Amino acid sequence: MVAELVEPIHEVPPLPASARRVMVLCAAPDSTIREIGDTVADDTKLASEIMRIANSAMYKRSRDVT
């Protein structure tokens, strides 16, 4: 079953540089939330996707994240 799902995938698009940078920052023990926030803020598409997920039913709090 997994092979059937994976077979049509010939290439996985690379992550945007900002997403890779966020991953590196999150893994670095000396990085700050400010560095992560600044990196996300520089990429509007990444920021909007994070906001969409944060406001989804799975992570929903009593009010929307803005």
Q: What is the pLDDT of residues 14-66, one digit of tens each?
A: 889 999 999 999 999 999 999 999 999 999 999 999 999 888 888 776 677 67
Residue 22 and residue 33: Cα distance in Å, rounded? 10
Residue 31 and residue 5: Cα distance in Å, rounded? 37
Residue 40 and residue 59: Cα distance in Å, rounded? 19
Question: Do residues 49 and 22 touch, judged by C-beta distance below 8 A?
Answer: no
Q: Given pLDDT bands bounded at 50, 70 and 90, which one contains residue 2?
A: confident
pLDDT score for 47: 95
Question: Do residues 19 and 46 touch, judged by C-beta distance below 8 A?
Answer: yes
pLDDT score for 17: 95
Domain ranges for the chain, please list them. Answer: 15-60
